[in-house]
Amino acid sequence: MKRTVLTCVALLALLSSLWLFGNNYVLHIATMVVIMAPMALSLNIMMKLGQLSIAQPAFMGIGAYGAALLTMRLGVPPLLSMLAGATIAAAMAAISGPVFLRIKGVYFVLLTYAFSQVVNLVFQEWVSLFGGNSGLYGIPKFSLFGFRLTQVHHYFALGLVFTALTYTAMRAIERSDIGAIFESLNENEMLSRSLGSNALAWRTAAYTFSAFVAGVAGAIYAFYIGFLSPDPFGFRASVDLIVINAVGGVNLVLGPMLGSLFIVPLPELLRDAREYQLLVYGVCLMVFVVFLKQGLVSLFQSPKKGVRA
Amino acid sequence: MRRTFMKFGLSAIALSAALLSGAAFAQAQQTLKIGIIAPLTGPAAPWGLAMAEGAKVLANDYNAKGGLSIGGKTYKVEIVAYDDKYKAQDAVSAYQRLVNRDGVKHIAIAAGVSTLAIKPNIENDKVVVMTAGYLANLLDPNAKYMYRMWGIPADYYPGIYRWLKDNTKERRVVILGPDDESQREMVALSNKLLKEHGYNVLSTEMYDKGLKDFLPLLTRVLATKPDMIDLGGTAPATAAVLVRQAREFGYKGQFFIPGSSAWREIMDGAGAAASEGVLNMVYVDPTNDNYKRFAAEFRKAVGQEPNESMAPYTDGVNVLIQSIVKSGSVEDTSQFEAGFRKAFPMKSMQGDNLTIGGGMAHGIDHQVAAFRYIGAIRGGQLKIIGKIQ
Amino acid sequence: MFEQILVNGLLAGLIYVIMALGFTLIFGIMRIVNFAHGEFYMLGAVVVLVLFGQMGWPFFMAVIAGGVVSGLLGLVLERLLFRRIVGDEMAGMIMSLAIGIILQSVALIVFGPAEQTVTRPFSGTWSLGGAMVPWDRTIVALCALAIIVVFYIFLKFSRLGLAMQAVAQDPDTSSLMGVESGSVYAASFSIACVLAGLGGALMAPIYTIGPYMGELPMLKAFVVVILGGLGSLPGAVAGGLLIGLSESVLATHLDATAALIASFVIVLLVVITRPTGLMGRSVR
């Protein structure tokens, strides 16, 4: 108990110093970390179920465009449009879930890939609504009960709060019965079905939850950057999320958090070697897949926690 | 699990310390830092590198002559170029780093989308931005710190289409354009201008910018028997493929490319015979000595031929630099506008007289009226046959 | 116009088949989605750029060299890397993703970002009914057919080919029967890379060559192979021709993006209703 309190205090001290003393550059990176962390968590849920989903950035895009358009065109207050955008994303997951999640392994990957491509094409082609490749410009600032979020600090706080919420929710799930059900779904579905859990319903619930998280992250992104185009929601984004999870570690909820902390700022640290950035990315990924399959998280783990093959 | 938190906390602290330590302002001590945000990797890299490396050659020129005299002090010119990968969030990172870590107050930026992404910040930060972006909403009367280094199609298309009508006889035209940001605006404008000049516009097509197989498109389009194909702002390598495939299908008419400089790629990719007669808006007279010098320096630094947009991009950076000199201050960017007005007329890289433009079309005259040339491919060479501003 | 659409569709279709062959092979036998498939394709094209475009080798020699280089690289990677993660589907996918990223970035560093062209070894067109058929694509189509036939014979009649089929169907029983799955995996992966490399090499003069050129073929391979069935050679052929023809029709009458959307919608429908595709085997 004392240790947890100590680490929480340390974390708080760290974050406050970031807030108070960090300049806009550092805070921008930090904000991107806390926007990508929930995205990585969203993919993590699906990977824990053994289904690699390439659709997460598409859900992020739906949440982003949804929130932006509701606020811009219909004057909906930002908090509401954020939730609405995420709900639309979640609804799409809930509808497609029972159909897609029946399918396992590689076919599921390909399905989500096709889904995400269709979503992207719609963003590009439906120009009157989404602005096409030119995108949506002039998204208003996020405001909460009259307080307008105009500075980087504010968005960092917003993203941080959401990340903390998502993390807590996922830890709670992991520790609860639901978490146990998810684990068993991955390990041995037939057995868990025989014990009475409706596998497809649980998978769809997980998928829907992951889409909701992605949608909110997308909305935060939209309000922060103020400008949307289809580009950040394509296949490349999925690659980033996969790298984050592989590097951070899939098994623990802490994994994607560590992964985001490490991977998102990486291009900034590698600015001088920009052509080699991509190479470093790929080599990192390869090294982790081969030698550190459990991710960064495993470096911190006490040996007695079982390492799953 | 507790141990995990401790270690996590410690490493996070270490990481943040590393980032924060770079947060100290790098004060410009007798160094004028010009920032550049451009795609330095990715498919748009040829343009980004043209801007970054062209600017570096320019900086070397100034430094070799002893630097710049601004407000009574001598400054060395330093170019700080960051990659935006043609993406909005990377442009924001690059901007934040330039402004908050490197202490830069003047930035040249290549892509329209990137400019849009940082535009909200520059008025607050009082950072002067010189953009090459084509999007119409980049300049507006409220954007006091935004400038553009050349005219966009809305500005120069009327001139170029007037030239076309006066100098060519084909009148049945098909317009093709890649589906990318500003291209829609450009294609709509071409359509309008051609119709005003009495052309018969048979069809207008936007194709996916990654498209390589144009046979179906050409099958449809050539069936209407055009005698001219307007390729808009088609990317150079794609233009080469299009010209070749159209010629193979028996198209004998004219090609007109007002939106991007593609003649070199077309000659290499389609061959001298297929490319004979292609009319192209080009940035550069390849026989110009000063341009050839810049190109040689670029080749030494990068190992490839420069994209010819290097000429207008470098002119843009030069305008930035000269305006700073004339404004008398590096730190006080509120003086920049006065300096901008005093800097003209000034010479472009190729010896043309640059002036200020854009007032009527954009509500604010923060634009450089750059020159564009009209070239024709004849006998495997580019011949400059016209010039517009 | 109808004959032209047909001809365009068949030519495009055969090109897609070449792109898809290697991809479907790796999946069928090793159950790995090779995200680096496009980069092996690019590698073949790059070899042609260097050997034929810059060093003046005869075109077909450069093409074969392209295939060989890709195949050798594939073999090395399989032995060194994939060997360590046999059976772990997700790790295999992530590993192939990593390889793809690395190959792309190496190409970027060595050749630069700009797309390049090589002078075409064949040009001009010939007429078939009312349609104009470009010679360069005709050659590619003929080579594609030859490759398909040779590969089919190999699969059905050679020891290695039969071993590959056996391992695809049931690795455990095959090993009981004395087929060593390890060397079959190595052979399959490298043959698949040879096919990808040959595809890229043949296509090098048709479009342009650049570090990102593998993305489109990968996309097409996905679509074709899902339609035809992961692991099925006749499926890849049927899928490729079908996609080529449907795209030709849609792209000519509507536009290319509509054709692309249609392809993806087809993929979605196929995976949902009949995941094994037109001709694939049932999922294990």
The DSSP code for C116 is B
> CB A25 to CB B96 under 8 A?
yes
Chain B contact for C252 (CB, 8 A cutoff):
yes
Tokens representing C185 are 């995996």
pLDDT tens digits, one per residue of A103-115 = 777 778 878 888 8
pLDDT tens digits, one per residue of C256-275 = 777 888 888 887 787 777 76
* Domain assignment of residue A127, yes or no: yes
User: In terms of domains, do B383 and B250 share one?
Assistant: yes
Chain B contact for A25 (CB, 8 A cutoff):
yes
* Domain assignment of residue B331, yes or no: yes
* Domain assignment of residue B13, yes or no: no
User: In terms of domains, do B58 and B129 share one?
Assistant: yes
* Domain assignment of residue A98, yes or no: yes
CA quadruple A268, B82, A227, A32: dihedral, nearest 10: 0
| Cα(C230)–Cα(C89) distance, integer angstroms | 15
Instruction: Answer yes or no: is pLDDT of B354 > 90.
Output: no
User: In terms of domains, do B105 and B175 share one?
Assistant: no
**Set of chain A residues whose Cβ sits within 8 Å of the Cβ of B7:** 299-300
**Per-residue pLDDT band at A253 (split at 50, 70, 90):** confident
Q: Which chains touch C (3 or more CB pairs under 8 A)?
A: A, B
pLDDT number for residue A305? 46
| Cα(A162)–Cα(A249) distance, integer angstroms | 21
Where is pLDDT greater, at B236 or C46?
A: C46
The mean pLDDT of C34-52, rounded to a whole number, is: 92
Residue A30 · residue A154 · CB < 8 Å: no
Smallest Cα distance from B212 to chain A, Å: 18
pLDDT number for residue C284? 37
Interface of C with A (CB under 8 A): 27, 31, 33, 81, 84-85, 88-91, 93-95, 97-102, 104-106, 108-109, 219, 222, 226, 230, 257, 260-261, 264-265, 267-268, 271-272, 275, 283
**Mutating which of C83, C102, C220 best tests the A interface, going by the most A Cβ atoms within 10 A?**
C102
pLDDT number for residue B265? 84
Which residues of chain C from 206 to 235 reach within 8 Å of chain B, CB to CB? Answer: 207-208, 210, 212, 215-216
**Mutating which of C138, C208, C260 best tests the B interface, going by the most B Cβ atoms within 10 A?**
C208
Chain mean position to CA B366: 16
pLDDT number for residue B353? 85
User: In terms of domains, do B379 and B347 share one?
Assistant: no
Instruction: Answer yes or no: is pLDDT of B3 > 50.
Output: yes
Chain B contact for C128 (CB, 8 A cutoff):
no
Residue B309 · residue B50 · CB < 8 Å: yes
**Per-residue pLDDT band at B383 (split at 50, 70, 90):** confident
CA distances from A184 to A48, A194, B28, B201 (A): 10, 11, 60, 64
* Domain assignment of residue B17, yes or no: no
The DSSP code for B72 is T
Give residue A50's domain range: 25-234
Show the DSSP H helices in chain B as ranges. Answer: 2-21, 45-64, 88-96, 112-125, 153-167, 183-196, 215-222, 236-248, 263-275, 289-302, 310-327, 336-342, 359-362
Instruction: Answer yes or no: is pLDDT of C194 > 80.
Output: yes
CATH of the domain at B240: 3.40.50.2300
Question: In this structure, are strands B353-357 and B367-369 parallel, antiparallel, or unpaired?
Answer: antiparallel
Which candidate from C31, C89, C104 shows the least CB-CB separation from A278? C104
pLDDT number for residue B38? 95
Chain A contact for B304 (CB, 8 A cutoff):
no
pLDDT number for residue C275? 67
pLDDT tens digits, one per residue of B159-196 = 899 999 998 888 999 999 988 767 888 898 999 999 99
Where is pLDDT greater, at C89 or A1?
A: C89
The mean pLDDT of B220-243, rounded to a whole number, is: 89
| Domain tally, chain A | 1
**Per-residue pLDDT band at A1 (split at 50, 70, 90):** low
pLDDT tens digits, one per residue of A229-249 = 888 898 889 988 988 998 888
CA quadruple B52, B58, B62, B63: dihedral, nearest 10: 50
pLDDT number for residue A84? 95
Chain B contact for C254 (CB, 8 A cutoff):
no
User: In terms of domains, do B235 and B378 share one?
Assistant: yes
pLDDT tens digits, one per residue of B13-52 = 555 554 544 444 444 458 999 999 999 887 788 889 999 9
Which of B132, B90, B92 lies closest to B112 in space, CA to CA? B132
What residues are paired with B33 via a beta bridge? B78
User: In terms of domains, do B329 and B382 share one?
Assistant: no
* Domain assignment of residue A269, yes or no: no
Q: DSSP readout, B297-356? A: HHHHHHSSPPPTTHHHHHHHHHHHHHHHHHHT-SS-GGGHHHHHHHT-SEE-TTS-EEEE
Is B384 buried (19+), middle (13-18) or exposed (0-12) by CB count in 10 A?
A: middle
* Domain assignment of residue A241, yes or no: no
* Domain assignment of residue B15, yes or no: no
pLDDT tens digits, one per residue of C130-187 = 788 888 888 888 998 999 899 888 888 888 888 877 777 776 777 777 777 777 888 8
User: In terms of domains, do B128 and B160 share one?
Assistant: no
| Cα(B334)–Cα(B128) distance, integer angstroms | 9
Give residue B332's domain range: 31-152+288-371
CA distances from A302 to A293, A307, B1, B2, B14 (A): 16, 10, 8, 10, 22
What average pLDDT does the structure give for chain C? 84
- Where is average pLDDT lowest: A272-276, C5-9, C51-55? A272-276
Instruction: Answer yes or no: is pLDDT of B7 > 70.
Output: no
pLDDT tens digits, one per residue of B310-343 = 999 999 999 999 999 999 888 888 889 999 988 8
pLDDT tens digits, one per residue of A35-49 = 999 999 999 999 888
| Domain tally, chain B | 2
**Set of chain A residues whose Cβ sits within 8 Å of the Cβ of B179:** 124, 132-133
**Per-residue pLDDT band at A226 (split at 50, 70, 90):** confident
Percent above pLDDT 70 for chain B: 92
* Domain assignment of residue B188, yes or no: yes
* Domain assignment of residue B174, yes or no: yes
Which of A241, A207, A234, A103 lies closest to C268 in space, CA to CA? A103
| Angle made by CA atoms B245, B248, B249, in degrees to the nearest 5 | 90
User: In terms of domains, do B79 and B147 share one?
Assistant: yes
What average pLDDT does the structure give for chain A? 84
User: In terms of domains, do B158 and B170 share one?
Assistant: yes
pLDDT tens digits, one per residue of C205-252 = 888 888 888 888 888 888 888 888 777 788 888 888 988 888 888 888
Chain B contact for A3 (CB, 8 A cutoff):
yes
| Cα(A253)–Cα(A170) distance, integer angstroms | 7
**Per-residue pLDDT band at B279 (split at 50, 70, 90):** very high
> CB B220 to CB C132 under 8 A?
no
pLDDT number for residue A189? 62
* Domain assignment of residue B22, yes or no: no
- Where is average pLDDT lowest: A198-202, B78-82, B153-157? A198-202
User: In terms of domains, do B281 and B316 share one?
Assistant: no
User: In terms of domains, do B130 and B204 share one?
Assistant: no
* Domain assignment of residue A288, yes or no: no
What residues have CB less than 8 Å from B82, skipping those under 6 apart?
Answer: A271, B35, B36, B37, B40, B93, B94, B97, B98
pLDDT tens digits, one per residue of A266-309 = 888 887 777 788 888 888 888 888 887 777 766 666 554 444 44
pLDDT number for residue B21? 46
pLDDT number for residue B29? 55
User: In terms of domains, do B137 and B185 share one?
Assistant: no
> CB B205 to CB C132 under 8 A?
no
- Where is average pLDDT lowest: A174-178, B108-112, C31-35? A174-178
Q: Cβ of A257: how many Cβ atoms within 10 Å? A: 28
**Per-residue pLDDT band at B10 (split at 50, 70, 90):** low
Smallest Cα distance from B37 to chain A, Å: 12
The mean pLDDT of C11-40, rounded to a whole number, is: 85
pLDDT tens digits, one per residue of B103-148 = 999 999 999 889 988 998 898 899 999 999 887 788 888 888 999 9
